[in-house]
Structure 1
Amino acid sequence: MNGLSFSELCCLFCCPPCPSRIAAKLAFLPPEPTYTLVSDQTGSRYSLHLTERAEWQYTQKELDCIEVFMTRTTRGNRISCMFVRCSPNARFTLLFSHGNAVDLGQMSSFYIGLGSRINCNIFSYDYSGYGTSSGKPSEKNLYSDIDAALQALRTRYGISPQNVILYGQSIGTVPTVDLASRFEVGAVILHSPLTSGVRLAFPDTKRTWFFDAFPSIDKVPKISSPVLVIHGTDDEVIDFSHGLAIYERCPRAVEPLWVEGAGHNDVELYGQYLERLKQFIHTELDYLY
C-alpha cells in the first residue's frame, strides 16, 4: 500500500500519530542564539549585537543598515524581526523565511550580500523559539510567525503586497507556502521546498494523511502569485523530487532552477543562482505584470 511496509504502516498509526522517522528528520533545530537585541531606555527601539558565532563578514557601515525590533503574533509569542536596507531604490522587499538550524544573526551577512547583489531589501524574522523570539517552534507557530512578520512589514514600512516577494528556504518554505496560498503578493520563491512531512520520511507516500505535518503539496495549487522553484539535484536532506512535485502543482510557476550537482546547503554557491534570481525579479516579473 503506497510502497510502505507493514511495520511502517503500524508506525504511521501509532499514538500520538507522529512517526519517529518524521520527528527525527523534521525536528526543529534552533541554534544557540548568535545575537541579542538591546533596547533603549524607552523600550521601543533596539540595537543588534552579534556574537562571534554569527560570523559577521562586513563593517559597521553595513551593520548600520540593519534595523531590528520585536512584534507579537496572534499566538502570543514575541518574535524578532530584521529589516536590511540593501538598496535605496529597491522596488521589491524579500520576506525571507530561513532554514532550520540558523537564526537571524547567522543569516545577517548573507542578507546583506544577497540583497545588494539582486537590488532588493530583505525583511526576515526568527521563528518562535529561535534566536531571541519567545515561545517554542511548532507548525502552528510557523504560520502565525510569518503572518505577524508580513503585518509588521506592511504597517511599519508601508510596503504594499505587490512589492513583497516571499522567499522560503527549506523549512522556511512551509510558512511561505501557507501564507502565499492565502494572500497574493508580488511573487514567491521556494528554495529546496518539501512536499510534506510524511512524504519526506516515507518517499513512496502518494496521499496526505490526516496527521501529516507541513502539507505544502496540498497548498501550492492555491498560490495565485508567480512562483520560482529552486532545488539542487543532489539534495541529501530534501530530495530533488520534492522540488519537482511542488513545481508541477504551482499554477503560475515560472522556469525553475534545477542546480545540477548541488546539495541542500550549497545552492547559493553556484553562479546560476544569482543570475536566475535577478532575471526573475527584474525581467520576468515586469513581463508577468
Structure 2
Amino acid sequence: MIRSRNFFSELCCLFCCPPCPGKIAAKLAFLPPEPTYAFTPDETGSKFSLTLTERAEWQYSEREKENIEGFYSRTTRGNRIACLFVRCSPNARFTILFSHGNAVDLGQMSSFYLGLGTRINCNIFSYDYSGYGVSGGKPSEKNLYADIDAAWQALRTRYGISPENIILYGQSIGTVPTVDLAARYEVGAVVLHSPLMSGMRVAFPNTKRTWFFDAFPSIDKIPKVTSPVLVIHGTEDEVIDFSHGLAIYERCPRAVEPLWVEGAGHNDVELFNQYLERLKRFVSVELLN
C-alpha cells in the first residue's frame, strides 16, 4: 500500500508539477569537461591560434595546426562562443558544420576534425556550446539552439559559404541543435550520428508521446527537414538506444541509406571501417549525383 501511494504521488508530481525542459536537459545532457585548449590572439585580436593541453591528445604536427583558425561569435542570448575553422582540403566542395557530442570540447575534437576532413575531402567548422571549452554562459536547451544559430551565421558571413555547400553533422547531443537548424534551413545534407528522439524518451524509454515539458524534441522536428539525411547509429548503443536512430530515420522525408553499425556502442562508431566508407560514398558520390 505504501508503495502504491509513493507511486501515485510521484505520478501526480510528474504531471501536475512537471520538470521544466531546462532541468531535464541539464540532468540528461550537459557534462562540460575542464577546458582542454585556449585561444591565443594574433596582433589584430580578431583571429586566434589554438593552444592545446595534454588532454587534447593532438595527433598531428604543429605545422598542421596552422590550418586551424579560431575566433569568437556572439549569440542572440548574449553568450560568446568559441568557433574553429579547420582547413582540411584546398579543393573541398563541402564544409561540415559539426556539433560535437557531450563531455568533449573543441580541443579534444580538433585532431578528429582534421583527420575526418582530410579523409572525406571536406573542411570542418565547429563550435563549443555555451559553458563548454572557452565559450561563455551556461549549457541549456535554449542556449544550444542559439549557439548553432551563431555558428551558422558566422560560417555564412565570415567565410561566404552557400547553404548548398554546407553539411550539418550532429553527434549525440549535437544532433539536437543540428535537427533544429535543419528544420529551418535547407542545406547540402545532414548527418545524424547517434541521434535521440527526445530527452524524456532517453530517460524513460517507454515514453510514447512528446509531453509539453519534454526537452530536445527532435522526433517532432525531423519531418520538417527537407535536406538529404544520413542517419548513423550503433546497434549496441548503451547511452541512446538504437531504437532512437531507427525512429528518426523512419520520419526523415529525404533519408538516404542509413548506417547501422553492428556491435558498435555510443562512443566507438568511428572505429569501424564502414563509418568512413559510408561518409565517403555519401559526400563524394551520392551528394554529387
TM-score normalised according to structure 2 size: 0.94
The one of 109, 131, 134 aligned to 1:132: 134
38, 63, 66: which one pairs with 2:65?
63
Q: Deviations over 1:207-240 (max 9, x none)?
A: 1000000000000000000000000000000000
Describe how 1:26-175 pairs up with structure 2 within 5 A: 26-175=28-177
- Match for 1:12: what amino acid? L
Contact 1:67-1:83 within 8 A present in 2 as well: yes
Query: Which residue of structure 2 lines up, in the alignment, with residue 211 of structure 1?
Result: 213
Contact 1:97/1:176 (<8 A) preserved: yes
**Structure 2: runs of 5 or more not aligned:** 1-6
Is the 8 Å Cα contact of residues 196 and 212 (structure 1) preserved in structure 2? yes
Q: Residue 259 of structure 2 corresponds to which residue in structure 1?
A: 257
Q: Secondary structure at the match of 1:214?
A: coil
Matched with 2:183 is 181
Q: Is the 8 Å Cα contact of residues 197 and 219 (structure 2) preserved in structure 1?
A: yes
| 1:219 maps to amino acid | K
Change (3 A) 1:44 1:19: closer
Change (3 A) 1:153 1:16: same
Q: Distance in 2 between matches of 1:111 and 1:46?
A: 17
Q: For residue 211 of structure 1, give the secondary structure of its aligned residue in structure 2.
A: coil
Could you say what secondary structure the match of 1:219 adopts?
helix
Amino acid aligned to 1:142: L
SS at structure 2 position matched to 1:243: helix
Q: CA contact under 8 A between 1:184 and 1:223: conserved in structure 2? A: yes
Shift in Å at residue 11 of structure 1? Answer: 5.0
The answer (yes or no) to whether the contact 1:25–1:201 under 8 Å persists in 2 is no
Structure 1 contact 22–200 (Cα < 8 Å) conserved: no
| Structure 1 residue 39, shift from structure 2 partner | 1.6
CA offset digits 1:28-60 (Å, max 9, x no partner): 000000000122343222111001110111101
Q: Secondary structure of the residue that 1:12 maps to in structure 2?
A: helix
* Contact 2:171–2:193 (8 Å) recurs in 1: yes
User: What's the offset of the Cα at 1:153?
Assistant: 0.5
RMSD, aligned α-carbons: 1.8
Kindly indicate whether residue 249 of structure 2 is the aligned counterpart of residue 238 of structure 1. Answer: no
How many residues in Structure 1 have an aligned counterpart in Structure 2?
283
Deviations 1:126-174 (A, max 9, x none): 0000000000010000101001101101111111000000000000000
Measure, in 1, the Cα distance between the counterparts of 2:22 and 2:10: 10
Cα deviation, residue 12, structure 1: 2.7
Q: What is the match of residue 282 of structure 1?
A: 284
Matched, 1:192 2:175: no
Return 253-262 or 7-16, whichever deviates more: 7-16
**2:271 paired with 1:269:** yes
One-letter amino acid of the counterpart of residue 86, structure 2:
V
8 A Cα contact 1:232 1:260, kept in partner: yes
CA distance in 1, matches of 2:157, 2:239: 36
**C-alpha displacement at 1:121, in angstroms?**
0.4
Q: 1:24/1:142 Cα in 2 relative to 1: closer, same or farther (>3 Å)? A: closer
Q: Secondary structure of the residue that 2:183 maps to in structure 1?
A: helix
Among all aligned residue pairs of Structure 1 and Structure 2, give the percentage whose two residues are the same amino acid: 82
Tell me the equivalent position of 1:17. Answer: 19
Which contiguous aligned blocks of 4+ residues in structure 1 show a shift greater than 2 angstroms? 5-16, 18-25, 40-43
Judge conservation of contact 2:235–2:262 (CA < 8 Å) in 1: yes
Deviations 1:234-277 (A, max 9, x none): 00000000000000000000000000000000000000000000
Tell me, in whole angstroms, the C-alpha distance in 2 between the residues paired with 1:170 and 1:8: 29
1:64 counterpart SS class: helix
Quick check: 2:21–2:213 contact (8 Å CA) kept in 1? no
Could you list the runs of 5+ residues in structure 1 that have no partner in the other structure?
Answer: none
Q: Secondary structure at the match of 2:288?
A: helix
TM-score, with normalisation over the residues of structure 1? 0.94
| Alpha-carbon distance in structure 1 between the residues aligned to 2:191 and 2:130 | 22
